């Protein structure tokens, strides 16, 4: 897959046609799950593709701003509760989102707000955690380059986008040198370079409420991912955010050349002066 093209083309969709997608597309998605990218292949994970009738069971235990989105299909990812399982689910889930985009299907990550209730309603096995939920299908017709903004069931607006749709986060405001807030000047790189495209793809990555609470340090031959604190992103969503942005970066980099090691979770040996409350989520040797 061309991860750069897919990352910059994809937009979260929260308004779907009721018509189910084709059976062959469901089969293609299931088949791809067996080969999709993972941070930790040893962590057991499964998918279940739910139909539109799952909407009632999901209401009250999942939603965007607590607003459950109606869709013809939902992709439920469950995982063994190992260390870093949520980062792994974010990574593999975003790879499935890229596959959906390649298949010309629209998607939206949906927050799981009550995992225990979801486990009970969907009869999820005791050795699996309900880790991620993604709505998908064919989008309804919307304004060109538009965004559905949902605050509550009585406050739903379509906002027209202006300017360059992606990235959501300006790359020169997202990537610093090893000195915090000293821009690495990524926009000056050739647009077809691996680093430029990987950082652009990362800045297009979806995150909880589109807050994008992360930044990067470019330290010679290493990229460091810094997770920033905010008032609304909880630990589970922060871990999913980490996996999602790591997939966009790594997939694009590895379209150009093989990785030395891929993403390594945790901090490297070097100490960086980062904001109070921020943590180093991982690093990527280049």
Show the tokens assigned to 201. 């793809």
Model confidence pLDDT, tens digit, residues 62-74: 998 778 999 999 9
pLDDT at 165: 37
**Class of domain 3-137 (CATH, top level):** alpha beta
CATH numeric code, 171-285: 3.40.109.30
Show the tokens assigned to 239. 């871990």
pLDDT at 155: 44
Query: How far is Cα 192 from Cα 204, in angstroms, rounded to an integer?
Result: 17
pLDDT at 210: 82
How far is residue 43 from each of residues 129, 222, 238, 267, measured CA to CA in Å?
Answer: 12, 26, 19, 21
Q: pTM for the full model? A: 0.90
Q: What share of the chain is helix, strand, coil (3-state, %, to 5)?
A: 30, 25, 40
Query: How far is Cα 97 from Cα 26, in angstroms, rounded to an integer?
Result: 13
- What is the rounded end-to-end Cα distance, in angstroms, of the chain? 21
Beta bridge partners of 75: 49, 134
pLDDT at 200: 96
Same CATH fold assignment for domains 3-137 and 171-285:
yes
CB of 184 closer than 8 Å to CB of 202: no
Three-class SS string for 142-156?
A: CCCCEEEEEEECCEE
CB of 150 closer than 8 Å to CB of 67: yes
Residues of the chain with pLDDT under 50: 143-166
Model confidence pLDDT, tens digit, residues 83-98: 999 999 999 999 999 9
Backbone torsions φ then ψ of 144, nearest 5 degrees: -55, 130
Query: How far is Cα 242 from Cα 281, in angstroms, rounded to an integer?
Result: 7
| Residue ranges covered by each domain of the chain | 3-137, 171-285
Pairing of strands 175-176, 214-219: parallel
- Whether the bond into 14 is cis, omega within 30 of 0: no
Query: How far is Cα 216 from Cα 184, in angstroms, rounded to an integer?
Result: 9
Q: In what order do the strands lie in the sheet with 222-227?
A: 175-176, 214-219, 222-227, 279-285, 264-265
């Amino acid at each position: 897959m061309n991860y750069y093209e897919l990352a910059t083309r994809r937009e979260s969709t929260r308004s779907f046609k009721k018509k189910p997608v084709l059976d062959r597309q469901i089969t293609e998605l299931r088949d791809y799950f067996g080969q999709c990218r993972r941070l930790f292949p040893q962590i057991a994970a499964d998918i279940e593709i739910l139909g539109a009738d799952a909407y009632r069971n999901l209401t009250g235990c999942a939603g965007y701003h607590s607003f459950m989105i109606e869709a013809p299909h939902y992709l439920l990812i469950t995982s063994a509760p190992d260390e870093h399982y949520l980062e792994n689910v974010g990574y593999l889930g975003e790879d499935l989102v890229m596959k959906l985009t390649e298949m010309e299907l629209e998607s939206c990550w949906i927050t799981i707000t009550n995992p225990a209730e979801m486990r009970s309603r969907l009869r999820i096995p005791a050795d699996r955690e309900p880790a991620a939920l993604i709505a998908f299908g064919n989008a309804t017709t919307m304004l060109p380059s538009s965004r559905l903004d949902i605050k509550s069931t009585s406050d739903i607006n379509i906002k027209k986008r202006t300017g360059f749709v992606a990235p959501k986060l300006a790359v020169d405001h997202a990537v610093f040198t090893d000195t915090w807030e000293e821009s690495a000047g990524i926009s000056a790189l050739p647009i077809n370079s691996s680093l430029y495209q990987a950082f652009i793809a990362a800045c297009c990555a979806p995150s909880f409420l589109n807050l994008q609470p992360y930044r990067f340090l470019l330290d010679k031959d290493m990229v460091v991912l810094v997770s920033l604190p905010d008032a609304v992103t909880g630990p589970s969503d922060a871990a999913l955010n980490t996996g999602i942005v790591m997939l966009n970066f790594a997939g694009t980099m590895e379209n150009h050349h093989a990785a030395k090691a891929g993403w390594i979770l945790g901090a490297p040996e070097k100490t960086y002066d980062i904001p109070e409350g921020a943590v180093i989520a991982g690093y990527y040797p280049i």
